[in-house]
């Protein structure tokens, strides 16, 4: 079993907090699609014939692609074996033409960048849509029978309060989405938001506020029937993201497009530099190996799996590192910030906000 991820590196404009690789050049979409076709032809063998079960168009803003270019790429990448096909979308792009093209090509899951249901908060981070646009986009997808919908939210936004955050979480939970991903705002170097904070124009949320927002998030979504299955991800029963869950289980995936990462069937990590012009010039042939040592591989496992509700299976940790890991784990187990059952070590939900410190401590050096 394998997955395919396509990175679509175009956005209409840069959001104030974003440091993902994207460029405001949607006019390059046609020539980008030709480079993706060439890359796929060259690299398809990396999956070693394993059936592709999940297809994910992420970005950037995949919903920016005109319907005919989306169709061209989807027809190349989608096979009969794909059972989850996700497209990331911004609310302002969701129109009848795009929905028709997505349905025609088998899209059965849409992930929408909602971020907040408070218009002042959306404005503060340069989002181009309003709360009403996001809710109307969700209703439009449902009406078109795309019922598997995920919404992204951000906490710690400038001007956000406990009340406005609770209203966003509640509003999204009852909007018809089946999945919610919620991320803490981070101030990345070089972003407009970081410059504003450094100038004193906005104030960063305190650790105490972030703790409160996280607790509101977990409480509200539990009450609404969502399972908290990964530190930032919540799903109604049966609606977990299969693509991301496979990634957390180290299932091979082929990452296409500038900035995409891959894990080959033989266990090699590879990545495409974040460089649209270089990608187009080389006709998609710019992939670079990112070989891991055994220590890197184990630390990756610890980092990825301890962020999930299931945690890490002790049997997948090599025997020779067990003493070191058990020593570090003992301190956290004693404080109840780490737990174990017969087979797994896991971080209980109440300690997920401090998971970075626990994970750092369990890593081997």
Query: Could you list the residues that contact ligand SF4 (CB under 6 A)?
Result: 11, 14-15, 18, 20, 22, 59-61, 90, 113
Asked if 270 contacts 334 with a C-beta cutoff of 8 angstroms, the reply is no
DSSP state of 180: E
Kindly tell me which of 123 and 170 has the beta carbon lying closer to ligand SF4.
Answer: 123
Residue 279: how many CA atoms within 13 Å on its side-chain side?
A: 28
Kindly tell me which of 14 and 78 has the beta carbon lying closer to ligand SF4.
Answer: 14
Q: Which two tokens stand for residue 84?
A: 């989850």
Min separation Cβ 222 and ligand SF4, Å: 27
Identify the CA nearest to 1 among candidates 251, 230, 272. 251
For residue 318, count CB atoms less than 10 angstroms from its CB and return exposed for 0-12, middle for 13-18, buried for 19 or more: exposed
DSSP state of 349: G
For residue 198, count CB atoms less than 10 angstroms from its CB and return exposed for 0-12, middle for 13-18, buried for 19 or more: exposed
Looking at 111-161, list the stretches that DSSP marks H as alpha helix, in order from N- to C-terminal side.
119-124, 131-143
Kindly tell me which of 192 and 303 has the beta carbon lying closer to ligand SF4.
Answer: 192
Min separation Cβ 96 and ligand SF4, Å: 21
Kindly tell me which of 127 and 305 has the beta carbon lying closer to ligand SF4.
Answer: 127
Min separation Cβ 60 and ligand SF4, Å: 5
For residues 326 and 320, what is the distance between their CA atoms, to the nearest angstrom?
11
From edge to edge, which strands make up the β-sheet containing 179-184?
227-230, 233-235, 179-184, 149-155, 109-115, 84-89, 52-59, 2-8, 253-256, 261-263, 269-271, 288-289
Kindly tell me which of 43 and 129 has the beta carbon lying closer to ligand SF4.
Answer: 129
For residues 261 and 114, what is the distance between their CA atoms, to the nearest angstrom?
25
Min separation Cβ 8 and ligand SF4, Å: 9
For 326, residues 6+ apart whose C-beta sits below 8 A from its C-beta are none
Identify the CA nearest to 306 among candidates 360, 258, 264. 360
Kindly tell me which of 23 and 309 has the beta carbon lying closer to ligand SF4.
Answer: 23
Kindly tell me which of 7 and 109 has the beta carbon lying closer to ligand SF4.
Answer: 7
Residue with tokens 């891991």: 292
Kindly tell me which of 19 and 313 has the beta carbon lying closer to ligand SF4.
Answer: 19
Identify the CA nearest to 243 among candidates 258, 263, 225. 263
- For the residues of 63-75, what is the DSSP string, one character each? GGS-HHHHHHHHH
Min separation Cβ 344 and ligand SF4, Å: 34
Min separation Cβ 139 and ligand SF4, Å: 21
Min separation Cβ 167 and ligand SF4, Å: 22
Min separation Cβ 111 and ligand SF4, Å: 11
Q: Per 3-state DSSP, what percentage of the chain is helix, strand, and coil (rounded to 5)?
A: 45, 20, 35
Min separation Cβ 186 and ligand SF4, Å: 12
Kindly tell me which of 14 and 123 has the beta carbon lying closer to ligand SF4.
Answer: 14
């Amino acid at each position: 079993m394998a997955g395919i991820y396509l990175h679509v590196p175009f956005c209409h404009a840069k959001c104030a907090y974003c440091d993902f690789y994207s460029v405001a050049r949607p006019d390059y979409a046609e020539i980008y699609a030709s480079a993706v076709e060439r890359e796929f032809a060259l690299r398809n063998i990396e999956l070693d014939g394993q059936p592709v079960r999940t297809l994910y168009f992420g970005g950037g803003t995949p919903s920016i692609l005109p319907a005919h270019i989306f169709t061209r790429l989807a027809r190349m990448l989608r096979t009969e074996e794909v059972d989850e096909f996700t497209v990331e979308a911004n609310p302002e792009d969701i129109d009848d033409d795009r929905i028709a093209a997505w349905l025609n090509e088998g899209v059965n899951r849409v992930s929408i960048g909602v971020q907040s249901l408070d218009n002042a908060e959306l404005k503060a981070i340069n989002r181009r849509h309003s709360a009403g646009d996001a809710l109307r986009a969700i209703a439009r997808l449902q009406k078109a029978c795309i019922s598997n919908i995920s919404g992204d939210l951000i906490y710690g936004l400038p001007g956000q309060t406990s009340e406005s955050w609770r209203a966003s979480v509640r509003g999204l939970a009852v909007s018809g989405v089946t999945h919610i991903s919620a991320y803490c705002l981070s101030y990345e170097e070089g972003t407009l938001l970081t410059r504003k904070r450094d100038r004193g124009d906005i104030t960063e949320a305190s650790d105490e506020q972030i703790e409160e927002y996280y607790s509101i998030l977990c409480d509200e979504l539990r009450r609404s029937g969502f399972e908290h299955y990964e530190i930032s991800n919540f799903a109604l029963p049966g609606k977990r993201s299969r693509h991301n869950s496979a990634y957390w289980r180290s299932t091979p995936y082929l990452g296409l497009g500038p900035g995409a990462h891959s894990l080959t069937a033989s266990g090699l990590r590879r990545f495409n530099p974040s460089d649209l012009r270089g990608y187009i010039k080389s006709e998609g042939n710019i992939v670079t190996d990112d070989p891991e040592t055994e220590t890197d591989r184990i630390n990756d496992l610890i980092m990825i799996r301890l962020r999930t509700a299931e945690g890490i299976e002790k049997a997948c940790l090599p025997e020779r590192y067990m003493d070191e890991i058990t020593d570090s784990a003992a301190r956290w187990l004693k404080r109840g910030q780490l737990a174990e059952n017969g087979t797994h070590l896991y971080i209980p939900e109440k300690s997920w906000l401090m998971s970075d410190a626990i994970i750092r401590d369990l890593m081997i050096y």
